[in-house]
């Protein structure tokens, strides 16, 4: 099995307000179809790593290979296309367009990709919402949903384009144990049935322990993987 | 409803979330375009009318003879080869100073020219008009009225009477309406005209004419060219001007040069003859468009302002869209679309309001008597003009929208996400 993502001596520093190295010489690789958890104490650099891996943050040194390609050689537009087609992202804080309906929010990445017709996109969006138990909320405005519901809409949105890899920054942070369990099952199924890779930052050790692999960060360094 | 291009949907959502500011920004554009339509429409409508009235009362080409100021003496003309000094004291201008020699032969030649659609001889003179005790100095234009009519459509401007009477009635005269008013003269009245040479002719008013040019209407009368020759005590071949109408008036400049070479007399084309008017128009237009441009700049600031507000408020939206794969250019499109929506709708409303302003102002009787006389204001109402105003407005809005749009496109998604 090939690596969907691989880093070589990946480092990142913040310069403002003071020089601070948030990621130190990180060498990790995630295989296609792998379900990995990233753990570590608060401030250890988990979110920072996820942003860099998901191509959003390009201010780093070292190399990231995505699907074999060196991301540092890609243009901003290329990266946007990769994010749209191959990467799904669930943020630590749910991020939806508040004035749009749940359904519209889920459809947004697919409308950009424009691989399917509008009707098919809507059909697929309903499927994903079904998966997360939100079908009945589809036509509500996103800002009328509870925090946990919004988090699940964000997950559905991350799934809509069948990405090769899904990054989640505490995707179950706002969820009760039942919904959290559901999300875990969904991720597991995506990996098993569709060979999608999942990388999830979590503080929930019982969640982490049931994934294929745990990557532990401490002060910006990978201490075990 | 999900739209194929979420760009428009997103743009609309942003604007609807800020209804009041959006409407204010739109009204800014509306105001700008309405002023454009009204102000520039008035200006260009007036200019078109003025050109119609003035330029069309100017011949496409005029052939005339100008007094040579330093005329060589006959002696000098004969003795060109020698280097002798010839001095002739007290040389007087010749009587036939301004005569176009062989004028009627030139007219005959011109009438055969396929590029010419009309030729009219002219002999003008100063004159004192007298009706009873009323006396006014003015000018008489000695013309062949039928030919003159071909050039200047005199019959169109007849208030009373008929131009052909000038031919059929030997002592007929057609007065400008202003002149007739000043003299208190009416149709069929008798009138006497006296030339600077002291010749007096008793005439009969056979028509009243209104050219629209106030100064002209207050001072001019048409008479038959034969009567003009009598006033000036000259023979039947004496004319001072030949006016030419061309099939294509754009050829005037070129043909004026050609006739100058061919006939040896001075020629002037209509553009040259009215050069001062055109330069005044140029300045007028510049001032008008400067005013309009500044109004549209103010409208532009309105748009700029609202877009910047939306952008700061919707930073999370921008970050999400970028994170899920929308390109910088897509983001730019969203905000450009917003400014265009404001421009398109505000502009349309502006066109309508501008149109109504034109209609209302154009229906009020003004009776302007200045430069030209008009009963009503005249506006440019051509669709091309409206289109031009609209495009002008859209360009202004796009420029105003472009700066914020570019700023939004350049925003770093990750900075926004981290700062939440
Ligand atoms: N914009 C920034 N400028 C400077 N330092 C930053 C910035 N963003 C993050 N950091 C620092 O980088 C380190 C890693 O932050 P990061 O957000 O990755 O932590 P994390 O592991 O995700 O923590 P948490 O579990 O609380 O989400 C922290 O020490 C943080 O203070
Ligand atoms: Mg974090």
Residue B113 CA, ligand 1 centroid: distance in Å: 91
Closest Cα partner for B405 from B342, B337, B332?
B332
Q: Which CATH entry fits the domain spanning A32-58+76-224: 3.40.630.30, 3.30.565.10, 3.40.50.2300, 3.40.50.300?
A: 3.40.50.300
Closest Cα partner for B109 from B218, B278, B222, B264?
B264
Task: Tell if the CB–CB gap between B417 and A100 is shorter than 8 Å.
Answer: no
Instruction: Show the CA angle centred on residue A165, arms to residues A160 and A168, nearest 5°.
Output: 85
Mean pLDDT of the B313-340 span: 93
- Residue-wise pLDDT for B87-140, tens only, equals 767 665 555 568 888 889 999 999 999 999 999 999 999 999 999 888 999 999
Q: For the ranges A16-20, A161-165, B62-66, B212-216, which has the lowest average pLDDT?
A: B212-216
| Residue B279 at interface with chain A, using a CB cutoff of 8 Å | no
Q: Is the pLDDT higher at B354 or at B291?
A: B354
Mean pLDDT of the A165-189 span: 90
Which ligand lies nearest the alpha carbon of A40? Answer: 1
Which residues lie closer than 8 Å to A99 by C-beta, 6 or more apart? A141, A142, A143, B13, B16, B17
Which pLDDT score is estimated for B254? Answer: 92
Mean pLDDT of the B47-51 span: 83
Which ligand lies nearest the alpha carbon of A91? Answer: 2
Query: How far apart are alpha carbons A155 and A95 in whole angstroms?
Result: 10
ipTM: 0.93
8 A C-beta contact, residue B148 and residue B140: no
Q: In the numeric block, which tokens belong to residue A10?
A: 């990946």
If one counts every other C-beta atom within 10 angstroms of the C-beta of residue A209, the result is 10
Q: Annotate A39-74 with three-state secondary structure.
A: EECCCCCHHHHHHHHCCCCCCCEEEEEECCEEHHHC
Query: How far apart are alpha carbons A218 and A42 in whole angstroms?
Result: 9
Residue B1 pLDDT greater than 60, yes or no: no
pLDDT band at B303; cut points 50, 70, 90: confident
Q: Annotate A106-129 with three-state secondary structure.
A: HHHHHHHHCCCCHHHHHHHHHHHH
Determine which residue's CA is closest to atom 9 belonging to ligand 1.
Answer: A48
Q: For the ranges A5-9, A109-113, B1-5, which has the lowest average pLDDT?
A: B1-5
Helices B19-35 and B275-313, axial angle in degrees (round to 10): 180
pLDDT band at A166; cut points 50, 70, 90: very high
pLDDT band at B171; cut points 50, 70, 90: very high
| Percent of chain B clearing pLDDT 70 (strictly above) | 90
**pTM, two decimal places:** 0.74
Ligand 1 neighbour A45 (Cβ under 6 A) = yes
| Percent of chain A clearing pLDDT 70 (strictly above) | 99
Ligand 1 neighbour B420 (Cβ under 6 A) = no
Q: In the numeric block, which tokens belong to residue B359?
A: 């209609």
Residue B276 pLDDT greater than 90, yes or no: no
Question: Beta-strand (E) ranges in B183-328?
Answer: 190-194, 200-209, 220-224, 241-246, 266-269
- Residue-wise pLDDT for B182-241, tens only, equals 999 999 999 999 999 999 999 999 999 998 788 889 999 999 999 999 999 999 899 999
- Residue-wise pLDDT for B11-41, tens only, equals 998 899 889 989 999 999 999 999 999 998 9
pLDDT band at B73; cut points 50, 70, 90: low
For chains A and B, CB pairs below 8 A equal 81
Which pLDDT score is estimated for B86? Answer: 67
Which residues lie closer than 8 Å to A25 by C-beta, 6 or more apart? A9, A10, A11, A62, A221
Which pLDDT score is estimated for B3? Answer: 47
Positive or negative, the CA dihedral A63, A64, A67, A72 is negative
Mean pLDDT of the A183-192 span: 91
Which residues lie closer than 8 Å to A17 by C-beta, 6 or more apart? none
Residue B172 pLDDT greater than 90, yes or no: yes
In angstroms, how far is CA B399 from the centroid of its own chain?
A: 31
Mean pLDDT of the B156-177 span: 92
Residue A220 CA, ligand 1 centroid: distance in Å: 9
Residue B80 pLDDT greater than 80, yes or no: no
Mean pLDDT of the A144-159 span: 91
Which residues lie closer than 8 Å to B417 by C-beta, 6 or more apart? A51, A56, A91, A95, B319, B323
Which pLDDT score is estimated for B2? Answer: 44
Least CA distance to B5: which residue of chain A? A111
What's chain A's average pLDDT? 92
Which pLDDT score is estimated for B92? Answer: 59
- Residue-wise pLDDT for B335-375, tens only, equals 999 999 999 999 999 999 999 999 999 888 877 766 666 77
- Residue-wise pLDDT for B52-68, tens only, equals 777 677 889 999 987 65
| Residue B9 at interface with chain A, using a CB cutoff of 8 Å | yes
Which pLDDT score is estimated for A162? Answer: 94
């Amino acid at each position: 099995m090939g690596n969907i993502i691989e880093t070589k001596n990946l480092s990142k520093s913040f310069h403002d307000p003071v020089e601070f190295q948030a990621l130190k010489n990180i060498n990790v690789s995630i295989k296609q179809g792998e379900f990995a958890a990233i753990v570590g104490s608060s401030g250890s650099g988990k979110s920072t790593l996820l942003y860099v891996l998901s191509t959003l943050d390009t201010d780093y040194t070292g190399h990231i290979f995505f699907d074999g390609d060196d991301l540092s050689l890609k243009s901003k537009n290329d990266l946007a296309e990769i994010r749209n087609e191959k990467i799904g992202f669930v943020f630590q804080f749910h991020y939806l367009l508040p004035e749009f309906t749940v359904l519209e929010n889920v459809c947004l990445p697919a409308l950009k990709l424009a691989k399917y017709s509008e009707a098919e996109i809507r059909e697929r969006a309903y499927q994903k919402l079904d998966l997360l138990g939100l079908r009945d909320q589809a036509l509500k405005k996103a800002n009328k949903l509870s925090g946990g519901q919004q988090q699940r809409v964000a997950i559905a949105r991350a799934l809509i384009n069948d990405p090769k890899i899904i990054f989640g920054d505490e995707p179950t942070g706002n969820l009760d144990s039942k919904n959290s369990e559901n999300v875990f099952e969904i991720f597991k199924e995506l990996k098993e049935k569709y060979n999608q890779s999942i990388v999830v930052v979590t503080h929930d050790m019982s969640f982490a322990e049931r994934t294929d692999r745990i990557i532990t960060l401490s002060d910006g360094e990978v201490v075990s993987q | 409803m999900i739209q194929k291009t979420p760009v428009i949907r997103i743009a609309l959502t942003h604007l609807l979330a800020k209804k009041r500011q959006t409407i204010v920004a739109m009204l800014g554009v509306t105001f700008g375009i309405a002023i454009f339509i009204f102000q520039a429409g008035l200006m260009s409508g007036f200019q078109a009318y003025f050109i119609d009235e003035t330029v069309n009362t100017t011949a496409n080409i005029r052939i005339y003879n100008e007094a040579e100021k330093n005329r060589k003496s006959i002696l000098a003309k004969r003795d060109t080869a020698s280097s002798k000094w010839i001095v002739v004291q007290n040389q007087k201008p010749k009587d036939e100073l301004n005569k176009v020699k062989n004028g009627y032969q030139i007219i005959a030649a011109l009438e055969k020219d396929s590029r010419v659609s009309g030729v009219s001889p002219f002999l003008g003179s100063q004159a004192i008009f007298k009706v009873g005790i009323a006396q006014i100095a003015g000018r008489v234009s000695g013309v062949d009225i039928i030919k003159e009519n071909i050039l200047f459509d005199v019959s169109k401007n007849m208030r009373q009477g008929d131009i052909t009477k000038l031919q059929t009635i030997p002592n007929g005269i057609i007065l400008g309406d202003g002149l007739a008013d000043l003299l208190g003269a009416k149709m069929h009245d008798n009138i006497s005209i006296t030339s600077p040479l002291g010749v007096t002719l008793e005439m009969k008013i056979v028509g009243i004419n209104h050219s629209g040019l106030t100064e002209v209407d207050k001072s001019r009368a048409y008479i038959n060219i034969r009567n003009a020759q009598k006033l000036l005590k000259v023979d039947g071949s004496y004319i001072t001007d030949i006016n030419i109408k061309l099939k294509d008036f754009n050829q005037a400049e070129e043909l004026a040069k050609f006739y100058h070479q061919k006939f040896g007399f001075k020629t002037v084309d209509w553009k040259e003859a009215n050069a001062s008017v055109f330069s005044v128009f140029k300045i007028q237009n510049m001032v008008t468009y400067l005013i309009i441009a500044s109004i549209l700049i103010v409208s532009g600031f309105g748009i700029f302002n609202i877009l910047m507000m939306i952008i700061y408020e919707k930073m999370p939206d921008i970050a999400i869209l970028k994170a899920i794969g929308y390109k910088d250019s897509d983001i730019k499109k969203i905000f450009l679309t917003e400014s265009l929506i404001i421009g398109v709708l505000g502009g349309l409303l502006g066109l309508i309001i501008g149109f109504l302003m034109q209609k209302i102002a154009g229906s009020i009787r003004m009776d302007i008597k200045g430069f030209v006389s008009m009963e009503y204001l005249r506006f440019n109402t051509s669709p091309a003009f409206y289109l031009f105003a609209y495009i002008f407005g859209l360009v202004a809005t796009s420029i105003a929208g472009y700066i914020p749009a570019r700023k939004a496109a350049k925003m770093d998604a990750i900075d926004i996400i981290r700062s939440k």
